[in-house]
Amino acid sequence: MRVLFWHLHTSYTNAFVAGRHEYLLPVDTAGDAGCRGLEGHDWPRARGASWRELRGDPVDVVVLQRPGEIDVVHEMTGRRPGRDIPAVYLEHSVPGPDACRSIHPLADSPDIPIVHVSDFNRLYWDSGRARTFVIHPGIPDPGLQYTGELDRIGVVINDPVVHGRAAGTDLLPRFGRIAAVDVFGRGGNELIRSLAADAGGVHAGGDLPPARLATELARHRVYLHPSRWTSLGFALLEAMQLGMPIVAVPGPGIARAVPTDVGVVSADVDVLCHAVADCMEDPELAREMGARARRHALVHYGHERFLRDWDDVLVEVAAGDGRERSLATAERRLS
């Protein structure tokens, strides 16, 4: 199938466009359309597509990620998502500002189902009567790279100053008193400046390319996931597949991703600090924890399962649009 998909989150896009479809990523910029194209990434099954091309050669299904994209697609293609073209809405985020009373922008939509990235998100978002799916994240296996040679803590947070307490940035100085904390991702230097005198053992690790990030992260003794209220991140799953031991705040999706026999999860920061200290003092313990994390992530967050789940949803949505498509036809186009 020809799938229209915005390059919004690079890690998610990298996993998504590795399927067996043709992925079209808009490249023209108009207002807040966010048409980033591939931005230099090597995605063999994906290519940039201009508005003129999309209008002249319609796509089979649209994967929306922001409410405004509905109008953008209409302007780009002359077709209305959910009415003239099959569409599904991928919701990456946890609800906010109210955890339990936030109504999803597509709640009660009869034409555009919602795909949530975790059971947690589907439970907490009020999606009304809209049809919903859950597709848990899945990433290509980066391989067992863990060495733990550095007695330092690895963290990945993009735009940490923007996300603040939601991302748990206020907790980092506490861990920095146990061991140096390297915060990788966009905006690390801004975080250090914002922490000022409290920065202490907290350092900016840099916004590294994916392959280099994996290598550098795997050298750290332990991976810390301090997030209070953000969706389950791909960085955590990659750290697990790298073979890193995991210490985490019990934020959204963590109960499934890091069960009690896989890592240390607690709302008691003292417990988390003790776990980090234990890993620093006992590299073999850290390595054994990391091995459990890798096994769990490969089973529950594997890439092939992720792509199969998306195939099921895309086929169902494309086949159910009522415009002379059948499930058999859609499945043939997948082969």
Burial of 113 (0-12, 13-18, 19+ CB in 10 A): buried
What is the rounded average pLDDT of the residues 8-27? 94
Asked if 92 and 234 touch (Cβ cutoff 8 Å), the reply is no
User: pLDDT (tens digit, 9 = 90+) per residue, 123-155?
Assistant: 999 999 999 999 999 999 999 999 999 999 999
Burial of 323 (0-12, 13-18, 19+ CB in 10 A): exposed
Average pLDDT along the chain = 92
- Per-residue confidence band for 51, with pLDDT thresholds at 50, 70 and 90: confident
| Residue 30, pLDDT score | 53
Name which of 237, 220, 210 is nearest 183 in CA terms: 220
Q: Which long-range contacts (CB under 8 A, 24 or more apart) does 27-33 make?
A: 30/72, 30/75, 32/68, 33/68, 33/69, 33/72
pLDDT over 70, % of the chain: 94
Instruction: Considering only residues 31 and 11, tell me which one the structure prediction assigns the higher pLDDT.
Output: 11
pLDDT over 90, % of the chain: 79
| Residue 331, pLDDT score | 40
- DSSP three-state, residue 196: helix
Is residue 242 over pLDDT 80?
yes
Asked if 74 and 82 touch (Cβ cutoff 8 Å), the reply is no
Cis peptide before 97 (omega within 30 of 0): yes
